[in-house]
Structures are given as structure tokens and as C-alpha cells.
Chains A and B, each alone.
Chain A
Amino acid sequence: MAIEVKIPTILRTYTGGEKAVNAEGATLSALIDSLEADNPGIKDRLIDVKDSGPDLRRFVNIYINDEDVRFLGSLEAPLSDGDQVVILPAVAGGAR
């Protein structure tokens, strides 16, 4: 089951410059493991492992079919063949 994942500029160092790569998995968590297998190092940029367990990094947005995964169960968000996944770094900052 292949799912196309769009990769933002800042993470293309892990994909050999590719803007989109194929990965697989029935959940976002499994998809990220599959991404990591082909593009070592990328997982750490997406997932933060805290005392409470792994979670999506605060300033990384991942969308499944245009929906923010935070509304779909985050790392447990279900995936099916043909889904479109987009990764975007947050655009954020400020004086504080």
C-alpha cells in the first residue's frame, strides 16, 4: 500500500532532494517508521519522545487529505491506500 508524502524544503536533505516520496503504513505512526526506513533521520524531525511517550513535534504540521492530523488522532491517525500526506513546518516565531 503506497501513500505519497509531500516533503517540505527543510526536510529534503533526508530524501535526497525529493519533493515527494512513497511510504506505507496503516497509521501515521507506521507511515513515519516506513519513511524513516528509507530516509534515515527524518523521524526525529517529526516526532518528539517525551516521558509521556512519542508525540508529533509541536511545530510540525502533518495533513492527511488536507486535514490536520491533530484532529484525526495524531500519530494514531488511520491511513488507507491513495491517501495524500503533506508535511509542513509551522511558520511561527516572535519576540518572546
Chain B
Amino acid sequence: MLKIDQATYDAIVAHAKRDHPVEACGVVAGPLGSDRPARFVEMVNAAGSPTFYEYDSTDLLELYKEMDDRDEEPVVIYHSHTATEAYPSVTDINLAGEPGAHYVLVSTREHGNNEGPVEFRSYRIVDGEVTEEPVEVVAATNTEENR
């Protein structure tokens, strides 16, 4: 199960809506081993495409060095699909490189840049196998009480 706080959930949805029809992408880093998405990081889609996303290679290195320095790992790796459902494509499955991460997909096909609900779903992708998991949105995960 993915447990994510409301503010981070909202930030992912807002990013997906803002970048529509281009795919939006980013990560939510968290302390190593915590499984707690804590630090929201928007990434630039270097492909700038409505059907593909890729982090710029320099940005990618910066991100991983920063996480390393902070003893973090990518807890959530998110991106949007802008014309199809929020389910991992064959490309998503083949390129999934973080077996420990929650892969979040948001679909903006319904309302695009406008207000309105989006599909927000989470998956584990390990060795080419996709497992959907429930998403629980909580008020906050960053406080001691909620750890």
C-alpha cells in the first residue's frame, strides 16, 4: 500500500494538470528504509512529449546525489498519462529501474488542465511484473505521530 499525505498528493495532481498535454514526472523522496514519501521533487520531462517522459541525465545525477547526501531514496516515482488510463504501459514496465519504489500514475485524459478529478493509481513494478496497490491519502505523514 502507498500511504501519502494530502499535500504531496495535491502537488502531484497539480503538476500533472499544469503540464498537460505533456507528461509530467517527478519523485517523492523519503528517508532510507522508511517507505515514507516526504520530499516532493518535480522533475523536467526532457522529452517534452505527450507520450514519453525522461529525466535529463544531468538532473538525474543531481537528484541521486542529493538523495544520497540526505540518506534518502525514491519512495514514489510519478508520471502522468495524458490520453490513456493510469496504468503502466509496456514502456513503463520495461524501463522501471527502482524495484523498491511506488510507481504512481496519474491520468489527465478526463479534464486536462482543468479542475476535476483525475485517476491516481500506484503500482509496484519488479522484474517486469506489475502489482497494483491501494493508495491511502492521509492528512500528514511528516509528523512523529504518523510515523
Cα–Cα, bound, A70→B60 (Å): 14
A21-29, A47-55, A83-91: which lies at the B interface? A83-91
Cα–Cα, bound, A66→B59 (Å): 11
The residues of B with any CB-CB pair to A shorter than 8 Å are 23, 25, 27, 43, 47, 49-55, 57-58, 60-61, 64, 73, 77, 79, 81-84, 88-89, 91-92, 95-100
- C-beta contact mask, A65-96 vs B, less than 8 Å → 1, else 0? 01010100000000000000010111111111
- Taking residues whose C-beta sits less than 8 angstroms from the other chain, chain A's interface range is 10 to 19
Nearest Cβ in chain A — how far from B106, in angstroms? 12
Q: Which residue of A lies closest to B62 (CB)?
A: A66
Q: Kindly list chain B residues whose C-beta atoms are within 8 Å of the C-beta of A88.
A: 60-61, 64
Is the pair B49, A86 in contact by a Cβ cutoff of 8 Å?
Answer: no
Chief secondary structure at chain A's binding surface: mixed
New A-B pairs, 9, CB < 8 Å, besides A92-B52, A94-B51: A59-B97, A63-B61, A68-B61, A86-B64, A89-B98, A92-B54, A94-B23, A94-B89, A95-B89
Report if A39 contacts B (CB, 8 A): no
The residues of A with any CB-CB pair to B shorter than 8 Å are 8-10, 59, 61, 63, 66, 68, 70, 86, 88-96
Q: Kindly list chain B residues whose C-beta atoms are within 8 Å of the C-beta of A68.
A: 57-58, 61
Q: Which residue of B lies closest to A13 (CB)?
A: B99
Is the pair A96, B57 in contact by a Cβ cutoff of 8 Å?
Answer: no
Is the pair B91, A10 in contact by a Cβ cutoff of 8 Å?
Answer: no
Q: Which residue of B lies closest to A94 (CB)?
A: B52
Is the pair A91, B77 in contact by a Cβ cutoff of 8 Å?
Answer: yes
Is the pair A95, B95 in contact by a Cβ cutoff of 8 Å?
Answer: no
Nearest Cβ in chain A — how far from B28, in angstroms? 13
Q: Which residue of B lies closest to A91 (CB)?
A: B55
List 9 A-B pairs, minimum CB-CB distance, nearest first: A89-B97, A96-B51, A94-B52, A93-B92, A92-B54, A95-B81, A91-B55, A68-B57, A95-B84
Q: Kindly list chain A residues whose C-beta atoms are within 8 Å of the C-beta of B60.
A: 61, 88, 90-91
Is the pair A61, B84 in contact by a Cβ cutoff of 8 Å?
Answer: no
Cα–Cα, bound, A93→B105 (Å): 11
Q: Kindly list chain B residues whose C-beta atoms are within 8 Å of the C-beta of A89.
A: 95, 97-98
